[in-house]
């Protein structure tokens, strides 16, 4: 079994855009690279994503590669594929505030004029409320079309700004999560939340993510003093950076 001493390095990865293409399954070259990294010995592999555990596993395919899996930003935590920690956003907000937020989002989306709308506009998870103007059950082609439309019209950026203005008083934070949605969570429940589970294990935590600009869901953890952040553009870029560790 891999050493869990303070000397261990931890490689901590975002999922979409870092280990996999958006909402796609992990590819063989990434699996091979991660296995090679793990074979080096004194390191642990971990991942953190905003999606729930089931969706992350659907993408990652091989959960046994990772020592830690932090779904919903670490509000749900698994070690060696066994859950050992959970929190709940409903308990944090209460039913009245939750209802106000959901009603606002549904009305906003109903009045939003975009080319396509599908379904599952709001997804309530344990630690995150995911809000998608087009709807999470859109097809991959729909997703790509929305992404292109959003890049021209700032749909998500504008929606996020409105949510911050309206609900910042609830001690909630909002970040753009992936290509089609906004993640809502209690302040401090961003991806830095997962660090509480591993900061006592290692002095060297290397984080890899693609949404590292302000407003992106990797921004806070990328700039956290407890990690050394690497901003990547795609899975191939992640492999390229990992090769610098493997070949050194």
| Paired residues of 78 in beta bridges | 69, 83
User: 228 among the known binding-site residues?
Assistant: no
CA atoms within 13 A on the CB side of 52: 9
User: 218 among the known binding-site residues?
Assistant: no
| 14 belongs to the catalytic site | yes
User: 210 among the known binding-site residues?
Assistant: yes
> Which helix (H) or strand (E) segment is 13 a member of?
strand 9-13
User: 32 among the known binding-site residues?
Assistant: no
CA distances from residue 126 to 136, 179, 193 in whole angstroms, order as listed: 17, 21, 14
Q: Which of 228, 201, 194, 196 is nearest to 212 (CA)?
A: 228
User: 52 among the known binding-site residues?
Assistant: no
User: 237 among the known binding-site residues?
Assistant: no
Catalytic residue among 16, 67, 190, 218: 16
User: 222 among the known binding-site residues?
Assistant: yes
User: 67 among the known binding-site residues?
Assistant: no
Other residues' Cβ atoms within 10 Å of the Cβ of residue 198: 23
| 213 belongs to the catalytic site | no
User: 190 among the known binding-site residues?
Assistant: no
CA distances from residue 214 to 175, 210, 222 in whole angstroms, order as listed: 9, 12, 10
* Binding-site residue positions for Mg(2+): 14, 16, 210, 222, 224
* Binding-site residue positions for alpha-D-mannose 1-phosphate: 23, 125, 136, 143, 181, 183
> Would you please indicate which residues are annotated as catalytic (active-site) residues?
14, 16
* Binding-site residue positions: 14, 16, 23, 125, 136, 143, 181, 183, 210, 222, 224
């Amino acid at each position: 079994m891999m050493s869990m001493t303070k000397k261990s390095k931890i490689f901590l990865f975002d999922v979409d855009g870092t280990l996999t293409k958006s909402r796609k399954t992990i590819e063989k070259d990434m699996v091979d690279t991660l296995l090679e990294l793990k074979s080096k010995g004194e390191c642990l592999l971990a991942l953190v994503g905003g999606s729930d555990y089931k969706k992350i596993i659907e993408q990652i395919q091989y959960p046994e590669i990772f020592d830690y899996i932090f779904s919903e930003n670490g509000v749900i935590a698994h070690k060696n594929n066994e859950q050992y920690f959970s929190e709940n956003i409903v308990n944090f907000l209460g039913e009245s505030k939750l209802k106000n937020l959901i009603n606002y989002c549904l009305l906003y989306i109903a009045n939003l004029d975009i080319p396509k709308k599908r379904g599952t506009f709001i997804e309530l998870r344990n630690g995150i409320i995911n809000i998608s103007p087009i709807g999470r059950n859109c097809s991959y082609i729909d997703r790509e079309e929305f992404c292109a439309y959003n890049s021209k019209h700032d749909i998500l950026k504008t929606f996020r700004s409105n949510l911050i203005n309206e609900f910042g008083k609830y001690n909630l934070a909002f970040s753009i999560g992936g290509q089609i949605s906004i993640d809502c969570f209690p302040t401090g429940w961003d991806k830095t939340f997962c660090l509480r589970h591993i900061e006592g294990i290692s002095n060297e935590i290397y984080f890899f993510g693609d949404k590292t600009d302000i407003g992106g869901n990797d921004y806070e953890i990328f700039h956290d003093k407890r990690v050394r952040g690497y901003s990547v553009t795609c899975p191939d870029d992640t492999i390229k950076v990992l090769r610098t560790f493997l070949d050194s």
